[in-house]
Each structure stands twice: as C-alpha cells, then as structure tokens.
Amino acid sequence: MSVSLTEAAQSATSPARDIRSTTLANGLLVLTEQMPHMRSVSMGVWVDSGSRDETAELNGISHFIEHMVFKGTTTRTAQQFAREVDGIGGNLDAFTGKETVCFNIKVLDENYGAALDLLSDLVLHPTFAAEDIAREQGVILEEIKMDEDNPDYLVHELFSQKFWKGDALGRPILGTVATVSSFDQATVLNAYADRFTSANMVFTAAGNIDHDRFVAAVEQHFASLAASYGAKPARTPAPTAYPHITLRNKKSLQQVQLCLAMPSLAVADPRRYTAYLLNTIFGSGMSSRLFQAIREERGLAYSIYSEMNPFRDTGSIAVYAGCAVDRTREVLDLTLAEMARVKAELVTDEELTRAKNQLKGNMVLGLESSSARMSSLARQQMYFGRFFSVDDITAEVERVSREDVQELARELFQPEKLALTLLGNLGSMKVERSTLVC
C-alpha cells in the first residue's frame, strides 16, 4: 500500500456496524463494512452522477455507457467476462438512475480477489469499440420501444416529462431514439472521461472482508486512475415542479393508468421520516388507507399505491393506480378524499404505531444482506456524508408525532400543486382542475 494513503476510520454509533473509510492517493474513497458472520462479499463502484446530470443532447449517455462497459475491455472479451463471473459463482450487475450509476458484484468471500479484478477491469478499461457502439445502439433502441409498450413505464414517463418540464430530471434515463442514435465513439469516450473520475466515484464493499487488505487490493487495481480531487460534473439547480393535467389516449389498453402527484421533500430533508410515515399510512402497503378504501372495500383497482421519489434537492410523492375507464373518476375522487382526510384529521395512534413498526421493519430487514449494506454505504456517503446506525434511524422514526404527519400532509397535499396523468382508452374523458380538490 502506498504510504501516501490517508485514512480516516469511521466509527458507527451502533456497535453492530463496523464501517471504515480510506481515501486513496488519487482521491478515490473506499468504504467497507465488515460482516464476519457472512460468507459473501458485495462490492460496488458508484458514479455520483446520472441521467439528470446530462445535457439534452446527451440524454441517455449514462445508461449507454453502463451497457458499453460490458462489451469488452483491453484484456477481456464480453464472453470471457461472462465465463469468469460464472466460474466464481458471482452475480455481476449494473444500473443507471437519475443521480447515480452503479457497477456491482457479489461473490463468496473466498473469491473476492477475483471479483475485484473483474469489477475493476470492467470499470477502468472498457474499449468502446465503434462496432460495439453501433450494435448496442440497436439494442437500446429496442429497449426504448419495449418500455414505450409498457403502460406502467409510459405513465411514469409522461408524468415526469411534464412535471419536471424542461429539466433533465424529467427526461428518460434511457434517452430518446434521436439522442441514442447520435452517439458515436468520441461522444462516449468524452462522457466516460468526464464522469468516471476518482472524485466522482465511491468504491464500497460489505461482507466477510478485512478493510486494510481490501484497500490495498483496490489501490493496486485503481492506481492507474488519475487524481481528480474535487472535480465533479456541474450540478444543475433544483428544477421547478409544474402542476399539469395530461390525458393520453391509447386505445389498445384495457385499463386506465393513473398517476396523481405533487412535489415532496429532498432525500436528506430533516422531515424525511415524517414523509415516509405519511406515505406508509396513506398509500404504501396492504393496510394503507388507499389500498383499503379503493381495493378492499370497493374493488375498484387491483394495483393502487403511493410512493416517495426523493432526489438530492427535490422530490415527489405520487399515487399510481390501474382501473377500468368507467371507474377512473371514482378512483380519483376517493384518492383526493383520502388526501383531504389526512389533512383534516389526525391519524390514529394505532395507524401511526403500525406505520412506525412497518417502516422500522422494512429498514432493518433491508440491511440483512451484504449487497444491501454495500448499497447503503454508498447512498449514505453520497447524500449525507455520514452513516446512520439502526438505532439512529429507529430513534428518528419514533420521534414523529401525529401532529407532525398532519402538518406535513397539509404542506404537501395542496390542490394547486397536483399533477394528474391519465393513460388509456379515454374516449372523450375530460378532467377540470377545479375538480381536483383535496
């Protein structure tokens, strides 16, 4: 290990988590969480930028690069990658989001060295051959067509494009037919060089792993990555949310897809646990008010739920449902009525207790695997710059009162901020804003 490494041990407030961090000489941050009771190791390279950090002309480039790195490196073909991953019994995966790109692998602890070699080669040495770029353009154009044929996906995209109008946050992660078709080798190489820098990446690992040995191995692989302290792609300002009513006719659909949404809190907002509890009571889960009122009591929809979509500087809370066209207005009115009720009346003690138990259970159970811990390390570092123990989280959840939930509901559930998207065989259906009352 280079003597120029600077190390800062990160002690977690809960003794159950052994989290340590080291910054390599080139500025790459390496985070580990030792879980000695595990037989697995999960590791991931996280790029701290995604589709919302793209220009309109480069919409979809992050996702395109995510695909392209799997097409071969200076030392391995795509087929060799597949064989070597299978040969160590590993799970190699990647995904692109609005604010991040991740490449990750999970293996038995005895194979973590081979896994690190594969992951680092994938991220650091892609060839981006021109013939591979042309071939992958065809693949992604088919992916775009496939998603546009999916009504669940399409209603989300229609909502986002109008809600975050004119902003990268509203553009599709996959890009468009026009943008993807325009990518060439120079475009891909330049975008890769801008984003895959030591200052814009975090390497995280969790499982049966020794921090010092792991850092030494990472440094050996990533020493070739040039130092880039503080160099990150420019951040766009928080976008304006636009209330809208969008009705899109698609005669081939048997159901109407409904999305009713409004602005919500950013991911690190101090009231985030109040927002999670409000969402849980309102529309997340089988005991939620929406599920009970719309599906269980009236049988109007099979799928009905609400979800939080937090980002680094803004967010939304949205209700999604699929129902028959002649039931759409009733589903919409019942949803608005439940919004009005949570604003007018305090939630019950029983509801709040149940929601707290559900939220705490989901969070704790969601941290039981090495891959979940690996992801948690990256997200907490990128969004908070610190790590929260289970005790920290549960204490924050328990502090939320019924009055807190009502106060936030009154702030968020405002008729003038509502955005409604309907997709389906709508016929002559019309919705006036004056009828969106909550």
- Cα(354)–Cα(318) distance, rounded to whole angstroms? 22
The closest alpha carbon to 103, from 130, 88, 85, belongs to: 85
Tens-place pLDDT, residues 320-378: 999 999 999 999 999 999 999 999 999 999 999 999 999 999 888 888 899 999 999 99
Task: Flag whether pLDDT at 159 surpasses 90.
Answer: yes
Q: What's residue 9's pLDDT?
A: 37
The residue extents of the domains of the chain are 6-222, 245-435
Average pLDDT score over residue span 148-161: 94
Residue type, 117: D
Paired residues of 77 in beta bridges: 72
Tens-place pLDDT, residues 98-142: 999 999 999 999 999 999 999 999 999 999 999 999 999 999 999
Domains 6-222 and 245-435 alike in fold: yes
Strands, sheet with 245-249, edge to edge from the N-terminal-most edge strand: 245-249, 419-424, 256-263, 315-323, 303-310
The backbone torsions φ and ψ at residue 4, rounded to the nearest 5 degrees and listed phi first, read -85, 5
- List, in order, residues 6 or more apart from 1 with CB less than 8 Å away: 212, 215, 216, 219
* Cα→Cα distances 8→31, 95, 253, Å: 10, 29, 56
From 33, 66, 99, 351, the catalytic residue: 66
| CATH number for region 6-222 | 3.30.830.10
Q: Where are the beta strands (DSSP E) in 98-180?
A: 101-108
Query: Model-level pTM greater than 0.75?
Result: yes
C-beta of residue 137 within 8 angstroms of C-beta of residue 128: no
| CATH number for region 245-435 | 3.30.830.10
For this structure, is 396 an active site residue?
A: no
Q: What is the DSSP string of 193-213?
A: HHHS-GGGEEEEEEES--HHH
What size, in residues, is the chain?
A: 438
Q: Spell out the alpha helix ranges (H) of 69-111.
A: 78-87
Helix (H, G, I), strand (E, B) or coil at 358: helix
- Cα(100)–Cα(3) distance, rounded to whole angstroms? 31
C-beta of residue 359 within 8 angstroms of C-beta of residue 397: yes
